[in-house]
């Protein structure tokens, strides 16, 4: 067994440095209260601050959250435009606080389809927080794992055509450099709320060896206590990465 393997297996008992969350269940949360779906999205957005704030004490350096998928455009126009407005307001409202709390914000996903006003706000927030290092918050917005890999392949093909990289140099180390997540470590733990046990096109490449936690709680009810419980449980898992546990 190589040094790399023994180091990874001895990770048992360590917390997850990178947690990714599929924030699902806003619509059902609102429905249960006889309210429109957007009411649930607003309640869901309010939860994010508490979870980001809980990260440093839990040893979570990277938090990646799924806010809008490439498939979510299939929803009604009213819901989609309500969500887009919510994202804009959210950035305007939270930017200073995120900056002051040492949060470095990044966005992943395809920006092409997003409104230019929203994209400007995303760029500004990324720039404004670029020196921060307390927590790295990545927001997946118009993100799809397949779309990300396809866009990466397109840019890679372009570089091959230009002679910047040789076909035989395309491998597991070079391809991820073209992904939106190229500066991030792979997620150690992926949490999905709302009782659905599927990944819905989230971080397909990056989560090859992530641990998964599917919980019934709807996202607007997800508290820092629930989050802490999941992080503590993670330490009891044995990750093998295809090898044999020691």
Q: How far is residue 58 from each of residues 99, 229, 234, 245, measured CA to CA in Å? A: 20, 10, 11, 25
In the residue annotation, 233 being an active-site residue is answered as: no
> Phi, psi at residue 44, to the nearest 5°?
-65, -45
Q: What angle do CA 151, 153, 155 make, to 5 degrees?
A: 70
In the residue annotation, 24 being an active-site residue is answered as: yes
Residue facing ligand IPE at closest CB distance: 27
What one-character DSSP code corresponds to residue 156?
H
Closest separation in Å from C-beta 122 to Mg ion: 23
Q: Which does 69 bind (CB under 5 to 8 A by kind): Mg ion, ligand IPE, none?
A: ligand IPE
Q: Contacting Mg ion (CB under 5 A), which of 20, 22, 24, 201?
A: 24
Are 225 and 42 in contact by the 8 Å Cβ rule? The answer is no
Interacting span for Mg ion (CB under 5 A) from 19-27, 54-62, 73-81, 133-141:
19-27
**How many H-runs (helices) and E-runs (strands) does the chain carry?**
7, 6
x-marked contacts with ligand IPE along 23-62 as a string, rule CB under 6 A: xxxxxx----------------------------------
Range 40-56 burial, b when 16+ CB lie within 10 A, else e: bbbbbbebbbebbebbe
x-marked contacts with ligand IPE along 108-137 as a string, rule CB under 6 A: ------------------------------
Q: Which residues are catalytic?
A: 24, 72
Residues contributing to the site for Mg ion (CB under 5 A)? 24
Residues contributing to the site for ligand IPE (CB under 6 A)? 22-28, 66-69, 72, 83, 194, 196, 198, 200
């Amino acid at each position: 067994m190589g040094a790399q393997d023994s180091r990874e297996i001895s990770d048992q008992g360590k917390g997850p440095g990178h947690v990714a969350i599929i924030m699902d269940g806003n619509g059902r949360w609102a429905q249960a209260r006889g309210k429109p779906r957007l009411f649930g999205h607003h309640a869901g957005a309010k939860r994010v601050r508490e979870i980001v704030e809980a990260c440093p004490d839990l040893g979570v350096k990277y938090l990646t959250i799924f806010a809008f998928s490439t498939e979510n455009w299939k929803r009604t126009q009213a819901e989609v435009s309500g969500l887009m407005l919510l994202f804009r307001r959210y950035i305007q409202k939270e930017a200073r606080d995120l900056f002051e709390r040492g949060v470095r914000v990044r966005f992943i996903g395809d920006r092409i389809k997003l409104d230019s006003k929203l994209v400007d706000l995303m760029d500004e927030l990324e720039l404004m927080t670029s020196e921060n290092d307390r927590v790295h918050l990545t927001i997946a917005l118009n993100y799809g794992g397949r779309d990300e890999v396809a866009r990466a392949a397109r840019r890679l093909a372009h570089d091959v055509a230009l002679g910047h990289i040789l076909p035989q140099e395309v491998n597991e180390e070079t391809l991820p450099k073209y992904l939106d997540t190229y500066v991030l470590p792979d997620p150690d733990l992926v949490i999905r709320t709302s009782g659905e046990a599927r990944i819905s096109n989230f971080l397909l490449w990056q989560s090859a060896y992530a641990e998964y936690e599917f919980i019934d709680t709807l996202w607007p009810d997800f508290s820092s206590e629930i989050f802490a419980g999941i992080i503590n449980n993670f330490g009891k898992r044995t990750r093998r990465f295809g090898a044999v546990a020691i």
